[in-house]
């Protein structure tokens, strides 16, 4: 008879004896009783048919009838069915996909097209093969600025997404980089200034005004911008641009995985984290694609690497590429304009009802001032509306996209008290 257990009872006894214990219970004696599981209490074994029926029964407990106005770095946008259909083809979607740049000409070409689209949308010279997410892209941009300038201080706008801010601080702490949110003190020790537009609170910033404050040519300007707003607002003139890929063809997926882009001026291309796919010709004169620049430590000596990032979220970047290809520039712009129009429509309805906004210069997210955030959001939820993200006791971050119907907007305004 085959023994499928990893260890025999004799082997367990020998291991426990070697550390002076009598049983497995002794091994977990230090754990509090309230976190121990007293048996799994599993039902009897089911057949495949019974299992499917039970899962369907459990799935009926999920509440899916809510209209959502949640944002803050993860937005619900329309994704054509062809995006997942193409991206899930076996030529693309393999167990190796997250790291997959070297594996085939098709994947390399898709990444090359992705890089081209990112450069077109951002007005930047060079794009890498994408990043883990916007938080790490911001942090890697700061590290890039430090390498370029030789300075160890970064100014990060306090209106940047707080999750991005925390990741930047974590990176900076390990690299002995000083992080400050006081943008009024830009001196000769400052490697870079990082801002987000539209920022976490939805407001659009005048980047040109900030650039005027940077009187030191060596200080780099980093802008974090999502792709959809870049189709309707002028891309900021800066040194490095990063942004979230999730709103551009990627589902919310219960919080991930997401991806991000990283683009910069040509003179900084050798400091880009990750790698870049380039186009060339083979010995027969046929078009060919290859990893042109590889600055990650998997490819070169660690002390020469720009970053230890090893994944480029190839599948997320592919889905973004398919999404951008299917919609085209006009389609992306239409989605962005619809989102902005819906957001301003809801904002105007709420202001007519007596509510105040923190700022009226926004794209598709805005901060709504309320009497009590908990009561405000709870009342909306009772009426099947996820009304936004609580910022504090009197402020709620509201996100509206092209997915929100006129009926949902009217219901939000009606139940907002």
Please tell me the total number of residues recorded for the chain in this structure.
Answer: 417
Q: What is the pLDDT of residues 284-293, one digit of tens each?
A: 999 999 888 8
CB 240 within 8 A of CB 119: no
In the DSSP assignment, the letter for residue 270 is: G
Structure tokens at 14: 């020998």
Intrachain domains 67-78+328-415 and 81-323 with the same fold? no
CB 383 within 8 A of CB 411: yes
Q: How far apart (Å, rounded) are the C-alpha atoms in residues 85 and 81?
A: 6
Structure tokens at 66: 């809510």
What pLDDT is recorded for position 159? 96
User: From edge to edge, which strands make up the β-sheet containing 395-399?
Assistant: 356-357, 365-369, 395-399, 389-392
The DSSP result for 25-89, as a single string, is: HHHTTTS-GGGS-----------HHHHHHHHHHHHTTS----EE---SS-------HHHHHHHTS
Q: How far apart (Å, rounded) are the C-alpha atoms in residues 347 and 409?
A: 10
Q: What is the pLDDT of residues 102-142, one digit of tens each?
A: 667 888 899 999 999 999 999 999 999 889 999 999 999 99
The ranges assigned to domains in the chain are 67-78+328-415, 81-323
Contacts of 17 (CB under 8 A, 6+ apart): none
Flag whether pLDDT at 35 surpasses 90: no
CATH of domain 81-323: 3.40.640.10
Flag whether pLDDT at 20 surpasses 60: yes
Flag whether pLDDT at 304 surpasses 90: no
Q: How far apart (Å, rounded) are the C-alpha atoms in residues 246 and 257?
A: 9
Structure tokens at 328: 């085209």
What pLDDT is recorded for position 27? 87
What pLDDT is recorded for position 106? 82
> Nearest Cα to 321, choosing from 76, 121, 95?
121
What pLDDT is recorded for position 40? 83
What pLDDT is recorded for position 224? 98
H-assigned helices in 268-372? 314-352
The yes/no answer on whether domain 67-78+328-415 falls in CATH 3.90.1150.10 is yes
CB 111 within 8 A of CB 275: no
Q: What average pLDDT does range 9-32 have in this prediction?
A: 89
Please report where in the chains the tokens 């991206």 appear, as a residue: 87
């Amino acid at each position: 008879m085959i023994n499928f257990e990893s260890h025999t009872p004799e082997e367990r006894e020998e291991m426990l004896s070697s550390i002076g214990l009598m049983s497995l219970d002794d091994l977990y004696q230090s754990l509090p009783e309230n976190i121990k599981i007293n048996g799994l209490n599993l039902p009897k074994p089911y057949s495949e048919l019974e299992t499917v029926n039970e899962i369907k029964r459990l799935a009926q407990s999920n509440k899916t009838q809510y209209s959502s106005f949640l944002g803050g770095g993860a937005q619900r946008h329309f994704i054509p069915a062809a995006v997942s259909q193409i991206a899930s083809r076996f030529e693309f979607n393999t167990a190796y996909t997250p790291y997959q740049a070297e594996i085939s000409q098709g994947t390399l070409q898709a990444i090359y097209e992705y890089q081209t689209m990112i450069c077109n949308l951002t007005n930047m010279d060079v794009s890498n093969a994408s990043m883990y997410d916007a938080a790490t892209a911001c942090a890697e941009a700061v590290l890039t600025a430090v390498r370029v300038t030789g300075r160890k201080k970064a100014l990060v706008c306090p209106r940047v997404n707080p999750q991005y801010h925390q990741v930047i601080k974590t990176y900076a702490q390990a690299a002995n980089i000083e992080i400050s949110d006081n943008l009024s003190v830009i001196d000769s020790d400052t490697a870079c200034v990082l801002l987000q537009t539209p920022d976490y609170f939805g407001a659009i910033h005048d980047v040109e005004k900030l650039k005027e404050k940077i009187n030191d040519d060596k200080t780099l300007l980093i802008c974090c911008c999502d792709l959809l707003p870049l189709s309707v607002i002028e891309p900021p003139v800066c040194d490095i641009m990063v942004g979230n890929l999730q709103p551009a063809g990627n589902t919310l997926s219960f919080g991930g995985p997401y991806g991000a882009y990283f683009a910069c001026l040509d003179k900084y291309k050798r400091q880009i984290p990750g790698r870049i796919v380039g186009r060339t010709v083979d010995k027969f004169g046929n078009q060919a694609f290859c990893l042109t620049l590889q600055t990650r430590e998997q490819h070169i000596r660690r002390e020469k690497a720009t970053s230890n990032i090893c994944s480029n979220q190839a599948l997320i970047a592919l889905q973004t590429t398919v999404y951008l290809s299917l919609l085209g520039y006009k389609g992306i712009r239409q989605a962005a304009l619809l989102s902005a129009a819906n957001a301003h429509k809801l904002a105007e309805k709420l202001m007519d009802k007596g509510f105040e906004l923190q700022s009226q210069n926004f794209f598709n997210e805005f901060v709504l001032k309320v009497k009590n955030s908990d009561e405000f959001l709870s009342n909306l939820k009772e009426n099947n509306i996820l009304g936004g993200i609580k910022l504090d006791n009197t402020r709620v971050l509201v996100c509206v996209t092209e997915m929100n119907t006129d009926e949902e907007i009217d219901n939000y305004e009606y139940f907002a008290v």
